[in-house]
Structure 1
Amino acid sequence: MRTATDRPHWPEYPFTSRWFEHAEARQHYLDEGSGPPVLMVHGNPAWSYVWRHLVTGLSDAYRCVVPDLLGMGLSGRPSTPLPRLLAGYQIAALDDLVRHLVDEHRAPDRGWTVVAHDWGGPIALAWACLNAEKVDRVVVLNTAVFRFPEQGLPPWWFRLLRLRAVSALAAHHTPAWAYGAARLGVTGPMPAEVRRAFTAPYRHRRDRAALARFIQDVPVTRADPGWSLLAVVERMLPALEQVPILVGWGMRDPVLRPPLADAWQRRFPHARVLRYPEAGHYVLEDARAELVPAIREFLATTPSDAETTSG
């Protein structure tokens, strides 16, 4: 079992590292604050650092559970080859972590809010659909859990990037994907020290295998590994039809483009969709001053089972 190196100090990330031992690798996660639980699931090539502003903005009133997906961030890199469909593997690992927190660390069995971004969307919402009795609220940020509408397909360069040889070069053998996302995923440049923190877990080739695998799994055609997963998740989505949903969308995302925000509204007419015209893919970086309070207000006005139980 190989794990990422112990972390140095990173700006705006004053949190305590916690660890859960899976059979394949050790998983890093944050467990900050107390109150109704909020589960935050990152995408690719991010890690728990992407949630730092939301954790800071909620942890005085909510219990923020923020894992690094296996093979990513500060979590261990499994020594065995990654599975063909990485998201399915991560859904099972996420379920193991939540069960561990409920059984061993007094997390409530119900009343969870699920917050997801990018590839964290299919992972977290699949878990939410499978555990709908546990989930009271959903927040999605620039992600898709259904097949791309024709007018919202990723740009040609991203479809080229999905080719195995290209993604292996750009995301595994070199840090181009991690470094490029930190620059192109925002509309306002990150401070240099924040950009270094974003990319810190992915500086070495041995730590980037999951980044390439996730790119290869993005489902655009039926031949893609992730197509079957999204087809299953789509069929499960009615489990969330009564769940309050907040959508926060950076409208200048170069890959997950504005028509996907409209698709969320069509899929869930009851959802509240917030569009941020000047924000990019990392909407919590570009629009955090507006989005963090909006998420907090959404949580405050849609009480969860955990709040009712604790009261």
Structure 2
Amino acid sequence: MTPELWRDDRLGTACEVRLPSGPVRFHDRGSGPALVFLHGYLVNANIWRKLVPLLADSFRCITPDLPLGSHAAPVNRDADLSPRGIARLVADLLRELDLRDVTLVGNDSGGAYAQVTAAAHPERIGGLVLSSCETPEDTWPPTPGGFGLLKATAATPLTYRALYQVLRVRRTWRWRNTYGWLAKYPIDAGTMNSYIRPVLTRRDIRFDGRKAIGSVSERYTRAAAARLTGLPVLLAWAEEDRVFPLARAERYAKTLGAELHRIDDSYTYVAEDQPERTAEIIRSWFGS
């Protein structure tokens, strides 16, 4: 199996559905209340590989590969990959799988997409778990770490492709404007290659990724936040997050009337750095 196609066996059974926007691959493990995990830009379902096995005894865990630059199956050439389009894709996936009362679990920009989905397509959503992601006070892409450059270079195929060539050198994986401010501890090479190889080697995947990151804006998350009142929401936030400041999450939790739990010894990728603590918080929230 080529590096970009590898997905961890702990995610469960590999599946694929064809949605109006195109094919979407996902993994399915466990039974019980449905958790649908939404990852951020330039990662894929592997970001959940440590967390899913800790929850699959009590929950059905669905981990799709969203078309955000690290996916294996390109969507239709004319697919809408704006935040509204990704939200529609998620809603179509829930409908195709006939999932109801779903809890969306979003991390990094996956949390932004989760909020937009819940606001625009609430009919199958029962709750949100937001972990270290965009709040109404954050820009999208976030400013800390220089991630705003991602959208700027998406203006042309040439600048977009050029931006990622440094990732061919392993030591760059720990730079603050790559993955160094997202994961506190180094991510294993197999997982990292599943993230970066598609954008480095495949033009069709770059096309999707460029459309997605080039269309994001905080106006989507701010509009969504105003429509989430009354929905059960849990915020599980990295205490040391350098990209999405904890203080903003605290204010957002008060606005939503949501619980907020801090996760020590972690940066943004809480499911990577502290999967046990993240699983404990999700279980406790459901139990209460």
**Do both share a fold (TM > 0.5)?**
yes
- 8 Å contact kept, 1:129–1:239: no
Q: CA deviation at 1:115?
A: 0.7
The aligned counterpart of 2:48 is: 51
Q: CA deviation at 1:286?
A: 1.3
Instruction: List aligned pairs for 1:249-268, cutoff 5 A.
Output: 249-268=237-256
Question: Alpha carbons of 1:6 and 1:276: their partners in 2 closer, same or farther (altered >3 Å)?
Answer: closer
CA distance in 1, matches of 2:166, 2:229: 34
Question: Alpha carbons of 1:73 and 1:165: their partners in 2 closer, same or farther (altered >3 Å)?
Answer: closer
- The C-alpha deviation readout for 1:125-178, integer Å capped at 9, x for no partner, is 2222344453333211111252438xxx72373334432468866754453587
CA distance in 2, matches of 1:200, 1:13: 21
CA distance in 1, matches of 2:39, 2:154: 25
1:297 aligned counterpart, secondary structure: helix
The aligned counterpart of 2:130 is: 140
Instruction: List aligned pairs for 1:1-311, cutoff 5 A.
Output: 9-11=6-8, 13=10, 15-70=12-67, 72-80=69-77, 83=80, 86-102=82-98, 107=99, 109=100, 111-132=101-122, 134-148=124-138, 154-155=143-144, 157-164=146-153, 171-175=160-164, 179=173, 181-206=178-203, 207-219=205-217, 226-227=218-219, 229-240=220-231, 243=232, 245-269=233-257, 271-301=258-288
Aligned residues: 277
CA distance in 2, matches of 1:66, 1:10: 11
The aligned counterpart of 1:309 is: none
- The C-alpha deviation readout for 1:78-122, integer Å capped at 9, x for no partner, is 352564x621111111111111111xxxx4x3x321111122223
For residue 216 of structure 1, what is the amino acid of its counterpart?
G
For residue 238 of structure 1, what is the amino acid of its counterpart?
T
What TM-score results when the alignment is normalised by the length of structure 2?
A: 0.81
Q: State percent identity of aligned pairs.
A: 23
1:236 aligned counterpart, secondary structure: coil
For residue 259 of structure 1, what is the amino acid of its counterpart?
A
2:268 aligned counterpart, secondary structure: coil
Name stretches of at least 5 consecutive residues in structure 2 with no aligned partner: 168-172
- 8 Å contact kept, 1:132–1:239: no
Question: Alpha carbons of 1:39 and 1:205: their partners in 2 closer, same or farther (altered >3 Å)?
Answer: same
Question: Alpha carbons of 1:68 and 1:160: their partners in 2 closer, same or farther (altered >3 Å)?
Answer: closer
Question: Alpha carbons of 1:211 and 1:217: their partners in 2 closer, same or farther (altered >3 Å)?
Answer: same
